[in-house]
Amino acid sequence: MVSQAEAMESLAIGAYGSLVDEGLSLAGSVRVGMPEGFGTFFLAFHIGNLTKRHPELEIELVANPRGFSLSKREADIAISMSQPEEGRLHSRKLVDYELGLYAAQTYLERSPSIKQISQLHEHPFIGYISDLIWTPELDYLPNVSGELNPRLKISNIITQMTATLGGAGLCILPYFIAAREPSLVRLFEDEIKLVRSYWLIVHSDMRDLARIRMVSAYIADAVHKVGRTFWMSTNK
């Protein structure tokens, strides 16, 4: 039954793509699902150039802290933090990015000094709500210390950063997000340096459609053009 369902799904996706793309190879709708950090602090800033080039191409950006099902048409293209292990999906790594430990300057000024990593458990941490973590790659704190337990738990990275800016405590944040905030101070940069990846994923039956190829290539090119220093610190 699984194989029959997959065959029906393939025919349905192919038929839909043919109807939309017929005579309108760079027209129609492309929905891109992605983590909110990637969408808010990177792709939303760059996507305007693509819509200007192709005014008949409709782009839908869905920036949510969750995974997306390509087979259920939740997205045509998905940006994920992990490579899919099963399914008729085609994936390519976009980029590795770095995360570090940050605190607001105002928090550090009014709190006991932090001279050693062993002192981190004495300070409040901001982290994810455990049962709402949608991918293991977001479970950062065990990579820093097994003794850390967030006092403030927030479901998405943007709100976590806002809480950090407000002085609520220490937080693991992506470098490409935190580096743009001058009031954030990075702690133990050499010792606490996590690396995660972004993957671009499309359904195998959709990857050859002109509009899917165009948007996929544009995203990959935009990631490449900003350069490595956008995603990773230069202190190696």
Euclidean distance between CA atoms 68 and 75, whole angstroms: 6
For residue 8, pLDDT over 70 is answered with no
Strand 89-104 relative to strand 194-203, pairing: antiparallel
What H or E segment, with its residue span, contains residue 186? strand 184-187
Taking the model in full, what pTM does it have?
0.84
For residue 9, pLDDT over 80 is answered with no
Distance from the Cα of residue 38 to its chain's centroid: 4
For residue 117, pLDDT over 60 is answered with yes
Domains located in the chain, CATH noted: 2-95+197-231 (3.40.190.10), 97-195 (3.40.190.10)
SS3 label, residue 40: helix
Quote the pLDDT of residue 140.
Answer: 87
Quote the pLDDT of residue 116.
Answer: 93
